[in-house]
Amino acid sequence: MQGILEKTALFYGLTGAEIEGVVSSAGGILRRYEAGEVLWHQGEVVASLGIVLHGAVEAMAYSRDGGAELVAHHGAGQVVGDVLMASHSPSPVTLVARQDTEMLLLPMEGLYPMVGEVSTPLRQVQRNLLAETGEKFWQQRRRIAYLVEPRLRQRVLRYLRDEAPAAGVWFTVPLDRQGMARFLGADRSALSRVLSQLRNEGLIVYRKREFRV
């Protein structure tokens, strides 16, 4: 667990011993979820953030007519629930484990204690959490930019170019085809057609989740 935590943005700048101390003092809880298990439901108030140690979770928004929209995908090392925890607002999404998943939960009251002195490592985590929240804001803005584009072809190209570290370099996207389709507001068959067209035109190359633009 510690090796994964050392690589997360939340614990940037901390040593292994400092991370262990923060997790302990904050009341960290290790939880395991089976594939398909719900971590929290849409409308619930979230009191803890979670760090994905193994596996993956997806945030799904469900409409009254039964429609489902993929809002976010989180893999190993990523933080979930931090914005909801800070806002104390009912969750607009249901969080679901997409495979067997292990998470470390850190409660709000442990990360932001109301009494007592705040240690230097915990203060660093608070700063990192603020930066993480800001980064998620811009990620959501990026997704909105995809969705307002009327042409799926352009949505796909923008998404892949944003994910690519550099032109001509192979990279792995975090979503499978169904997840990518939901994220881009399309059905899977339409996405597959667009990917095939882009490959035939020489704009992209791909094999499963690996792409080159």
pLDDT, one tens digit per residue, over 55-72 is 999 999 988 887 888 888
Residues 206 and 130 in one domain: no
Q: What integer pLDDT is reported at residue 179 of this predicted model?
A: 84
Given this model, what pLDDT does residue 23 score? 96
Structure letter (DSSP) for residue 119: P
Identify the CATH number of the domain in which residue 68 sits. Answer: 2.60.120.10
Last residue of a domain, one of 95, 112, 139: 139
In-domain check, residue 70: yes
Residues 17 and 66 in one domain: yes
| 118 and 179 co-located in one domain | no
Torsion, CA 157, CA 160, CA 164, CA 170, rounded to 10: -100
Compute the distance between CA of residue 203 and CA of residue 213 in angstroms, rounded to an integer: 6
- The answer on 208 and 135 residing in a single domain is no
> Is 178 contained in some domain?
yes
Instruction: Check residue 92 and give its pLDDT.
Output: 92
Q: What is the pLDDT of residue 71?
A: 85
For residue 8, the enclosing domain spans 2-139
Q: Are residues 9 and 87 in the same domain?
A: yes
Q: What is the pLDDT of residue 202?
A: 95
Note the pLDDT of residue 166: 86
Asked if residue 63 and residue 132 are part of one domain, the reply reads yes
Query: Which two tokens mark 209?
Result: 């989740």
Helices (H) and strands (E) in the chain, counts: 8, 11
Q: Are residues 121 and 155 in the same domain?
A: no
Q: Say if residue 32 is in the same domain as residue 83.
A: yes
Stretches where the chain sits below pLDDT 70 are 2
Are residues 104 and 70 part of one domain?
A: yes
Q: What is the total count of domains within the chain?
A: 2
